[in-house]
C-alpha cells in the first residue's frame, strides 16, 4: 500500500511539472499522503540494524576529500556518492558509485526548470481583514547523457561505522568513445507548499531524486530517493535496483577531520545521502530563484475566495560544479556554482 501511495504522489508531481499547473485537489492529496505516511508522529529512534554488530554513539569522521573534492574541469569531473546506511559493504559501494555517476551527469549538462505560484487574498471580517498568502514552488533538474563506463575511475572510498560507503570518482570523457548506447538519466524535483495566515506560517516540502542507467540487453540499474518533511515530521524512502532499501531511523553523527574535539557533530536521522540530496536540491532551487525570472500576473479564482495569482518562471541549461561541503550547526552547506549554457544561434 505504501509503495502505491508513493508512486501516486510521484505521478502527481511529475504531471504538475510537465504541465506547469497543479490543482487544489493534488495539493490536498500531497498533504493527506504526507500525514498518512508519517502517521502524525515525530522522529522516533529505531535501532534494528542488520549488518552492524556493534553500534557507536561517537560521530564518524568523514574523509577530507568529501568536504573538498578536487576541482573539476571540462576534461575531468569529480563527484562524490554515498550509499544508504546498514548495507553490506560490496552493495554499499555499488550504490555509492551509481549515485556518484548520477552527480557527474547532472554536473555536465542539466536542464533547470522552476516556477512559483503566489496566491494572495483578502477577506473582510467585521472591522478586520483576513490576509492570506500561499506560495507553491516547483523545481526540476534533469539530464540525459550517453556515458562510457571506461571513462570513470574510482579515486577513493571510505566505509564508515554505519556501513555507509562514500566514494570519490573521476570522469574523463573519451574523445573517441566506443559506439555503445549506454544512457544515464537523472531527474531531481522539489515541491514546496508554504501557507501564511496573518502571522502564522506553515511549510512542507518534498525532495526526490531518480536515476536510471540503461545498457543494451541488460537490466536497468535505478536508484530512487524520496524525502518529505513538515515541521519535526519526515518521511524518507530509498529504492535501489527496484527494491525498497530499509534502514533504521537513528541518530547518525558525522564530523569533519578539521574540527576541534568539542565541536557538535552533524546529525541526520536518515543517513548522509538524504541530507546531501536535500541540501543540493534546496540550494539549486534558491540559486534558480535568484536568476532572471519571468513574472505573470494571472487573475484566477482560487478556492475558497477570489485571489490574485502571480507566477514566476525560469527555464535554462546549465553546468553545475560542487566546490565544497561544510557542516554548520547541524546543517550541511553545499558550495555550488551554476553556470548557464547559452545555446549557439545558427
Query: Using one digit for the tens of pLDDT, what is the confidence trace for 235-268?
Result: 999 999 999 999 999 999 999 999 988 889 999 9
Sorted by where each begins, the domain ranges of the chain are 2-341
Rounded Cα–Cα distance for residues 128 and 156 (Å):
63
**Backbone torsion region of residue 76, taken as left when φ is above 0, otherwise alpha when ψ lies between -120 and 50, otherwise beta:** beta
pLDDT category of residue 106 using cuts at 50, 70 and 90: very high
The burial class, CB within 10 Å (0-12 / 13-18 / 19+), for 152 is middle
Cell numbers placing 336: 555550488
- Residue of 133, 113, 143 whose CA lies nearest to 16: 113
Query: Is it the case that residue 283 has pLDDT exceeding 50?
Result: yes
Q: Tell me 8's DSSP state.
A: H
Q: For residue 336, what pLDDT band results from cuts at 50, 70 and 90? A: very high
pLDDT at 124: 66
Closest CA to 312 of 162, 115, 165, 151: 115
**CA quadruple 286, 288, 292, 294: dihedral sign:** negative
Q: What average pLDDT does this structure show over 262-286?
A: 94
Residues 23, 24, 30, 33: what is their CA dihedral angle, to the nearest 10 degrees?
-120
For residue 317, give the 3-state DSSP assignment: strand
CA dist., res. 12 & res. 24, Å (int):
12
Average pLDDT over residues 283-307: 64
Distance of CA 295 to the CA centre of its chain: 26
- The H or E element that residue 49 is part of is none
Extract the C-alpha cell encoding 164.
Answer: 555507509
Res 128 pLDDT > 70 = no
Residues 121/305, Cβ–Cβ less than 8 Å? yes
pLDDT at 306: 43
What are the φ and ψ backbone dihedral angles of 90, each rounded to 5 degrees?
A: -65, -45
The C-alpha cell at 239 is: 529504492
Which phi and psi (to 5°) does residue 216 adopt?
A: -60, 135
What pLDDT is stored for residue 11 in this prediction? 37
Contact 249, 45 (CB under 8 A): yes
Q: Each residue of 2-26: pLDDT tens digit?
A: 443 344 343 333 333 333 333 344 4
pTM: 0.81
| CA pair distance 200, 123, nearest whole angstrom | 16
- Show the DSSP H helices in the chain as ranges: 2-19, 24-38, 64-67, 89-108, 272-289
pLDDT digit string (tens) for 43-55?
455 558 999 988 8
What integer is the mean pLDDT of 180-200?
Answer: 85
Overall average pLDDT of the 305-323 stretch? 81
Average pLDDT over residues 186-193: 95
Looking up cell 501564511 gives 196
Average pLDDT over residues 320-345: 89
Local structure of residue 15 (DSSP, 8 states) = H
Q: Are 311 and 136 contacting, i.e. CB atoms less than 8 angstroms apart? A: no
Distance, CA of 16 to CA of 113 (rounded, Å):
12
Q: In whole angstroms, what is the distance from residue 33 CA to residue 193 CA? A: 14
Contact 255, 272 (CB under 8 A): no
Amino acid at each position: 500500500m505504501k509503495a502505491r501511495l508513493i508512486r501516486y504522489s510521484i505521478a502527481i508531481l511529475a504531471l504538475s511539472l510537465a504541465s506547469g499547473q497543479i490543482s487544489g485537489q493534488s495539493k490536498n492529496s500531497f498533504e493527506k499522503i504526507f500525514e498518512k505516511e508519517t502517521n502524525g508522529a515525530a522522529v522516533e529512534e529505531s535501532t534494528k540494524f542488520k549488518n552492524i554488530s556493534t553500534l557507536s554513539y561517537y560521530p564518524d569522521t568523514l574523509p577530507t576529500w568529501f568536504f573538498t573534492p578536487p576541482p573539476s574541469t571540462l576534461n575531468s569531473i569529480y563527484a562524490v556518492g554515498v550509499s544508504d546506511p546498514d548495507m553490506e559493504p560490496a552493495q554499499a559501494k555499488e550504490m555509492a558509485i551509481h549515485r556518484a555517476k548520477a552527480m557527474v551527469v547532472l554536473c555536465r549538462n542539466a536542464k533547470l526548470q522552476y516556477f512559483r505560484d503566489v496566491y494572495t487574498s483578502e477577506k473582510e471580517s467585521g472591522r478586520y481583514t483576513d490576509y492570506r498568502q500561499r506560495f507553491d514552488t516547483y523545481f526540476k533538474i534533469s539530464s540525459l547523457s550517453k556515458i562510457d563506463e571506461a571513462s570513470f575511475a574510482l579515486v577513493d572510498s571510505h566505509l564508515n561505522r554505519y556501513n555507509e560507503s562514500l566514494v570519490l570518482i573521476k570522469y574523463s570523457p573519451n574523445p573517441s568513445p566506443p559506439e555503445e548506447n549506454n544512457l544515464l538519466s537523472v531527474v531531481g524535483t522539489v515541491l514546496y507548499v508554504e501557507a501564511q495566515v496573518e502571522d502564522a506560517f506553515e511549510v512542507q516540502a518534498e525532495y526526490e531524486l531518480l536515476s536510471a542507467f540503461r545498457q543494451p540487453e541488460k537490466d536497468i540499474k535505478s536508484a530512487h530517493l524520496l524525502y518529505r518533511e513538515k515541521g519535526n515530521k519526515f518521511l524518507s524512502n530509498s529504492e535501489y535496483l527496484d527494491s525498497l532499501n530499509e534502514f533504521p531511523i537513528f541518530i547518525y553523527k558525522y564530523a569533519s577531520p578539521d574540527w576541534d574535539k568539542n565541536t557538535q557533530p552533524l546529525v541526520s536521522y536518515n543517513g548522509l545521502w538524504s541530507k546531501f540530496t536535500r541540501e543540493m536540491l534546496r540550494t539549486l532551487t534558491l540559486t534558480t530563484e535568484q536568476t532572471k525570472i519571468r513574472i505573470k500576473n494571472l487573475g484566477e479564482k482560487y478556492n475558497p475566495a477570489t485571489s490574485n495569482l502571480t507566477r514566476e518562471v525560469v527555464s535554462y541549461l546549465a553546468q553545475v560544479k560542487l566546490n565544497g561541503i561544510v557542516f554548520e550547526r547541524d546543517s550541511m552547506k553545499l558550495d555550488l556554482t551554476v553556470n548557464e549554457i547559452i545555446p549557439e544561434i545558427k
